[in-house]
Amino acid sequence: MYKFGGVLVILVSSITTIYAQSPSNEDNDTASGKTFLPGITVSTSADASAEGLSPPYAGGQVARGGRAGILGTNDNMDTPFSITSYTNELIQDRQARSVGDVLQNDPSVRVARGFGNFQESYFIRGFILGSDDVAFNGLFSLLPRQYIATELFERVEVMRGASAFLTGANPGGGGIGGAINLLPKRAPNEPLTRLTTHVGSGWHHNVGVDVARRFGPDQKIGIRFNGAYRGGGTAVDKEGVQTGLAAVGLDWRGDKLRLSADIGWQDNRLKRTRTNVTLGSGITGSPRLPDPTTNFAQPWSYSNESDIFGTLRGEYDINAYLTAWAAYGLRRTDEKNSLANFTLADRDTGDGYATRFDNTRKDNVDTGEIGIRGKFSTGPIDHRVVIAGSYFENERKNAYAWDFFNQLNTNIFSPVSWEKPDFSSSAFRGNNLSSPGLTGRTRLLSFAIGDTVSILEDRILLTAGFRHQNLRTESYAYDTEAKSPAYDRNRISPSVSAVYKINKQFSIYGNYIEGLTQGDTAPGTAINSGQVLAPYVSKQKEIGAKYDGGHIGATIALFTTTKPRSIIDADNVFTSSGRDRHRGVELGIYGEVIRGLRLLGGATWLDAKQRSTGDVTTDGQRVIGVPSFQASMGADWDIPGLQGVTFDSRVVHTGSSYANDVNTVKVAGWTRLDLGLRYLTEFRGHLVTLRGRVDNVTNRKHWASVGGYPGQGYLVAGMPRTFVVSASIDY
């Protein structure tokens, strides 16, 4: 496919597209003053669910509600948790290419990078969630492990806070601070054929096609196909990327039975991508930054990942009061990379070195869930009961070679390119790179039951429940595949919560909920590399308030969460030590403040401290990579007198943070400005959308993130000024 490197990429469409709102929102959108051209009327579900998608809120950038795990999709005002569902309209208008691009709009989330490679990871309330722990339609770890293109999903749902009762234990060690769920695309009621092309910095180009049809009596059968290719460079010198993908979504809507299925493929190839910057032991103070376009990666470095995934889901109405469902999903992943991560030895001169690290990996993921929901009344009290069970298994195969002592001297400001070195006899090795061996297996089993009680005509909602979980992790030694003693324990995770709706505009809520995740895996730099620590139990308390003014919504949440922590100790052993306590306040705003002006954003204050570490140098210090303050605010403005023309802007601010657990290396905060312009018109009966965008308008030098893996304080240089222009046409 890549031989056709001239052709191009992206995009995208979806059920609720930009100027094609569902009937439930037509009144709001007309009142907003937006000028709508002929589009697609959408009324469909993102899965085999009678609930369907939560309708867009005024302005179309977020939905009115989202999915709270096994409790299903609910309106925000009825939900005792903090949830934001970002729509496909926002995804398209911001020309987002990945989940991380979408979450730049979220004030409680910051995008980072996984350890040693180019995986997206996300700080949610200051806790790390890896992209391989993102859920797809409620099932964990099904979409590509390191990078998820936006063509593969309809919406991004962010549920902030611990969620063991709601979603089950997170298999990869994340999920303490929140969960991310992506909703699949489904065929809308009207035919859809959309072609999108774009070109951007570094002559990055892409072409995408989005086709959907419904068939049969009452259009019960739907099919939707998305295909895309991306290729070219980036705004960073000599970086290269190629991404190909194809996805098919099917659904059948009967009177009592609803079925859906997804199958997809993504192949993502990175060439000479700028690496993480590891700080040498002698560095104190904030490291200087290179020019934003400087590429200090070695010319032979690359990272390739290919994924195939699929899901099946069914829902059946047993009667008017009971609905049962079942789902199954799988992912098969092949990864191969040759890396040369940079270690900075002198922050003033920029001197440092790179070492070759090669890695191959295979993942086999199988997961599923079954459940039943019921509703009944006991006198004046209404009940909504849910019972569910889930299963998850991931078998991991891995091999590596690391030539730590063969250091390639270079400089972050004036990089030195080396020929690809052969591995020396002193290189560390594990398994065969051409045939990686079994290194780990994770199995999760759970059973959950919950009841939501509503009284006083739904003004008071009380929810209580628990999830019984069995976590089993197995580790196998490199080369010999000798099995270490398995970790196999059970845990009950409770939750209680309440919502009080003061009136139609205001509600207050509170919750106590726990998180349960697999313990962190020791990185390759530790003596006990590959060892999985015991699962982490976190405890969260939260209170908040929500406002819905019809066209403008706002939220505030106050929370505290504690979690066991992990470090590499003085003996180079990866171990659990003490706990992290995160206290914070979140503010959010969304909707249409005045006619033609839409806002989306907010701010988060975080007090993330290390506690009970047993070490006076770390006890009470701030957690690596977590700022005390961060904020995002975006505005969309329909320019008066220019029909179909909209200007958008976004400011993203991240405060300073620390790159080590003793807080001697402080990394400066940063503020970034992004601007965009779009024009919607009609050409010969076809809807045409033209978009242009510039991110980091001022070309601000900044360290975009600090860390992204527990106990690690590596840095990632922010992207330079980046532009993209695109055109899409609906046939």
Lowest average pLDDT, out of 430-439, 493-502, 575-584, 593-602, goes to: 575-584
Per residue in 362-396, pLDDT tens?
A: 999 999 999 999 999 998 999 999 999 999 999 99
Can you tell me the mean pLDDT for 250-260?
94
More confident call, 16 vs 352: 352
The count of domains in the chain is 1
Nearest partner of 310 among 298, 323, 294, 327, judged by Cα: 327
Residue 666 bridge partners (DSSP): 658
26-39 pLDDT per residue, tens: 333 433 334 444 33
At residue 511, the pLDDT reads 97
Degrees, nearest 5: CA angle 682-101-654: 130
**CB-side neighbour CA atoms (13 Å) of 695:** 19
Q: How confident is the model at residue 693, as a pLDDT? A: 97
String of DSSP letters for 5-36: TT--------SSBTTB--GGGHHHHHHHT---
| Residue 165 three-state SS | helix
Instruction: Label the pairing between strands 240-253 and 597-611.
Output: unpaired
What pLDDT does residue 46 have?
59
What three-state secondary structure class fits 168? Answer: coil
pLDDT digits over 49-79, tens only?
Answer: 777 789 999 999 999 999 999 999 999 999 9
Q: Read off the pLDDT of each residue in 304-311 and give the average, rounded to a whole number.
A: 97
Say if residues 209 and 10 touch (Cβ distance below 8 Å): no
- Is the pLDDT at 566 greater than 60, yes or no? yes
pLDDT at 324 over 80: yes
| Residue 230 in this model has a pLDDT that exceeds 50 | yes
Question: What pLDDT does residue 29 have?
Answer: 41
| Amino acid found at 404 | F
Extract the tokens encoding 643: 């029909």
Q: Is the pLDDT of residue 249 over 60?
A: yes
pLDDT tens sequence across 639-690:
999 999 999 999 999 999 999 999 999 999 999 999 999 999 999 889 999 9
The answer to whether residues 113 and 121 touch, using CB atoms and an 8 Å cutoff, is yes
pLDDT band at 13 (very low <50, low <70, confident <90, very high): very low
pLDDT band per the 50, 70, 90 thresholds, residue 48: low
Of all residues in the chain, the percent with pLDDT exceeding 70 is 93
Task: Please state, in angstroms and rounded to a whole number, the distance separating the CA atoms of residues 690 and 120.
Answer: 28
| Residue of 140, 137, 139, 103 whose CA lies nearest to 120 | 103
Q: What is the mean pLDDT of residues 18-27?
A: 34
d(CA 76, CA 78): 5
- Lookup result for tokens 């990379």: 337
128-to-110, 134, 504, 561, 706 alpha-carbon distances in Å: 9, 12, 35, 13, 11
One-character DSSP codes across 285-329: SPPPPPPTT---S-TT-EEEEEEEEEEEEEEEE-SSSEEEEEEEE
pLDDT at 19: 29
Contact (CB, 8 A) for 705 and 625? yes
Which contacts qualify for 402-407: CB closer than 8 Å, 24 or more apart?
402/355, 402/356, 402/357, 402/358, 402/427, 402/428, 402/429, 402/524, 403/355, 403/356, 403/357, 403/427, 403/428, 404/355, 404/428, 406/355, 406/356, 407/353, 407/354, 407/355
Query: What is d(CA 526, CA 430) in angstroms, rounded to the nearest whole number?
Result: 14
CB–CB of 294/415 below 8 Å? yes
**Total Cβ atoms within 10 A of residue 153:** 29
* DSSP string over 177-236: SEEEEEEPP---SS-EEEEEEEEEGGGEEEEEEEEEEEESGGG-EEEEEEEEEEEEE-SS
Matching residue, tokens 């957690």: 623
Confidence of residue 525 (pLDDT cuts 50, 70, 90): confident
DSSP string, 64-118: SEEE-GGG-EEEGGG-SSEEEEE-HHHHHHTT--BHHHHHTT-TTEEEEE-TTS-
Residue 7, pLDDT above cutoff 70: no
Alpha-carbon 558 to chain mean position: 22
Q: What is the pLDDT of residues 431-447, one digit of tens each?
A: 999 999 999 999 999 99
The DSSP line for 267-288 is EEEEESPPPPEEEPTT--SPPP
CA distance 210 to 196: 8
Measured between alpha carbons, how far is 235 from 616 in angstroms, rounded to an integer? Answer: 44
pLDDT of residue 32: 39
Domain span including residue 672: 2-730
Q: How far apart (Å, rounded) are the C-alpha atoms in residues 267 and 306?
A: 4
Place of tokens 């530790």: 526
Task: Report which of 433, 391, 412, 445 is spatially closest to residue 346, judged by C-alpha positions.
Answer: 412
Please provide residue 617's backbone torsions phi and psi, each rounded to the nearest 5 degrees.
-75, -20
Secondary structure of the chain: what % helix, strand, coil (to 5)? 5, 55, 40
Nearest-angstrom CA–CA distance, 363 and 147: 15
Max intra-chain CA distance, the chain: 78
CB 226 within 8 A of CB 202: no
Question: 365 near 394, Cβ under 8 Å?
Answer: yes
Measured distance CA(290)–CA(719) in Å, rounded: 11
Q: φ, ψ for residue 236 (rounded to 5)?
A: -90, 135
Nearest to 111 by CA among 148, 69, 153, 57: 148
* Structural contact between residues 114 and 709, judged by C-beta atoms closer than 8 angstroms: yes
Name which of 23-27, 65-69, 623-627, 697-701 the model is least confident about. 23-27
**Percent of the chain clearing pLDDT 90 (strictly above):** 78
Distance of CA 678 to the CA centre of its chain: 26
CB–CB of 138/64 below 8 Å?
A: no
CA nearest 296: which of 408, 146, 421, 205? 408
Question: Tens of pLDDT along 79-121?
Answer: 999 999 999 999 999 999 999 999 999 999 999 998 768 899 9
Distance, CA of 181 to CA of 636 (rounded, Å): 25
Mean confidence (pLDDT) of the chain: 90
Look at residue 14 and tell me whether its pLDDT is greater than 70.
Answer: no
Q: Tokens 């010319």 appear where?
A: 299
| Of 573, 403, 444, the residue nearest 175 (C-alpha) | 444
Residue position matching structure tokens 């690359």: 302
pLDDT at 12 over 80: no
Segment 684-706 shows an average pLDDT of 96
pLDDT at 47 over 80: no
Asked whether the beta carbons of 673 and 662 are under 8 A apart, the reply is no
Domain CATH code at residue 302: 2.40.170.20
The whole-angstrom separation of Cα 525 and Cα 234 is: 30
Rounded CA-CA distance 376/358 in Å is 58
**Beta pairing, strands 135-136 & 178-183:** parallel
Question: In this predicted model, what pLDDT tens digit does every residue of 327-348 receive, in sequence order?
Answer: 999 999 999 999 999 999 999 9
**CB neighbour burial string for 605-633, b if at least 16 within 10 angstroms, e if fewer:** bbebbbeebebeebeebbbbbbbbebbbb
**At 546, which amino acid appears?**
K
Distance CA 296, CA 304 (A): 19
Q: Which helix (H) or strand (E) holds 167?
A: helix 164-167
Helix (H, G, I), strand (E, B) or coil at 52: coil
